Amino acid sequence: MTDVIPAPRAVEGTASHVFRFDADTSLWAGPGTGTTERWLRAALGAALGLPLPAAADAQEPGAVRLRLDDALEPEGYRLTVTEGSVEIRGGGPAGVFWGAQTLRQLLGPDAFRRAPVRPGAGRTLPAQVVEDAPRFRWRGLLLDVARHFMPKDGVLRYLDLMAAHKLNVLHLHLTDDQGWRIQIERYPRLTEVGSWRARTRFGHRASPLWEDKPHGGYYTQDDIREIVAYAAERHITVVPEIDVPGHSQAAIAAYPELGNTDVVDTTALTVWDDWGVSRNVLAPTDATLRFYEGVLEEVLGLFPAEAGQFGAFVHLGGDECPKDQWRASPTAQARIKELGLADEDELQAWFVGHFDKWLAARGRRLIGWDEILEGGRRAEATAVPGGGAAAVPTGGLTPGAAVSSWRGYAGGIAAARAGHDVVMCPEQQVYLDHRQDAGADEPVPIGFVRTLQDVYRFEPVPDGLDEAQARRVLGTQANLWTEVMETTARVDYQAFPRLAAFAEVAWSALPAPQERDFADFERRMSTHYRRLDALGVGYRPPTGPLPWQRRPGVLGRPIEGAPPVR
């Protein structure tokens, strides 16, 4: 029986023999395993207080051996512990790295610290063989650093937390109405003006409370390079999001000519200090297109296509774009007429489609929220889990474009049927900003109640897809939107322990949702909480929030009842 999270496919072993880490334990790294070799010395070596020197050869007694084995799946691994050695074989470099994460878990919670707390203790492993491989290729976490900025060290810390849970895609939401967080050298006002706001509403939109001090911050280009490189060392791809044409008030505040100047005085706009969806959206002009092409040219240089298996992707949002200003704008209406479009929905599709083609011409792939399916010239009736159907447009995108299905399953089903890759992240299931309990002491309660068990029973592949269409589901992603998460401690509280359950859903070959052994997961979590303690994670305890985790008197937006399946 093992306490590993995510649960591995197979474990065989006996406690009659053990391998002991000591001052003589060495490390042999075969070709292609350098990232794991470096990580083991830096992380596990520090926790155990051991140098893990290089072994003279693969046969050296008492060595930890790392090697590639093309008989295994690319991210699969086989961890073999005997009395005389530890061997991690991986189908690729990532597989070896994920095997090392399992090795650390087997050594116990002290292996998650940065220095030894009980010298000489916690250094033994029972003889066993662990064989494992992930169910999904895309195992993601969205981190919204636009609403509340997370300094670089916090992002690096979350990359370590992701690696510990075998998650491999960080979707970094870099721009929104409330802030622009990435330095663009040719457009310096994006960070000079767009990266900070004068004040911030404290709580949801109904809250009367304000934090009356400036909030802001941004990542320099070297910060971004560091984040991308740090992630790559952990076999994590960072997918940047630059939101267009909605969620753009911070950019318009910095460069007013980007907005609908024939409708509103864009020179009077500031970075938005409230939550929700701003009506100030980008103008559909050639100048706006050229501006964002300039932005994206720098973004592509900072997020190279070879930086991870999903490095070709750039997320362009494409969601929640109010059309009021376009309806009132002579410039927008002239553009609709010039292009022969039917309405403002098709204008949005044209805007997103321009960058879809622009990225494709540069060997990159657009990914966007499921609204990018709208405004096309085709539509189909899409069955949704639980019965019924929804008419979802599916045309207008290049074959390489992919969809993040956030409003439910329907958009992902339609996209998969239309031949597009899909990342499933329905808000009703895996938006971790939603509250974890119905109790009155939950801090700033948002959305539906999504308990640890609810997340554990989430199924990323919906009914209604045939085998070929189901293969279009690249994987799944949990999203952390930070409107009411003003500190890293608040992010921790919303993320954990549910992110551990999500990681198992994304990685492990689990049975159907209602057949999953949640009692066994809870048993394993009793050990995992101690690992999270060692990592300094401010998770929500199973018994409810601690006094300092509560936010009495701060209004949220709870939604009662079970979330709809659509």
Which residues belong to the active site? 176, 247, 320
Cα separation, 219 vs 181, whole angstroms:
6
Residues 6 or more apart whose CB falls under 8 angstroms from that of 333 comprise 326, 327
* CA gap 541, 278 in Å, rounded: 35
d(CA 303, CA 230): 12
Instruction: Report helix, strand or coil for 187.
Output: coil
Strand partners, 383: 389
Contact 95, 309 (CB under 8 A): no
Look at residues 481, 492, 495, 409 and name the one whose alpha carbon lies nearest to residue 452. Answer: 495
Any bridge partners for residue 241, and if so which? Answer: 173, 315
Q: How far apart are CA 157 and CA 149, in angstroms?
A: 14
Query: Quick one: which of 26, 30, 31 has its CA closest to 41?
Result: 26
Count of C-beta atoms within a 10 Å radius of residue 168: 29
Alpha carbons 41 and 48: distance in angstroms, whole number: 10
> In terms of Cα–Cα distance, which of 130, 113, 92 is closest to 49?
113
Q: How many CB atoms lie within 10 A of CB 265?
A: 9
Cα–Cα distance between 438 and 468 in angstroms, integer?
40
**Three-class SS of residue 257?**
helix
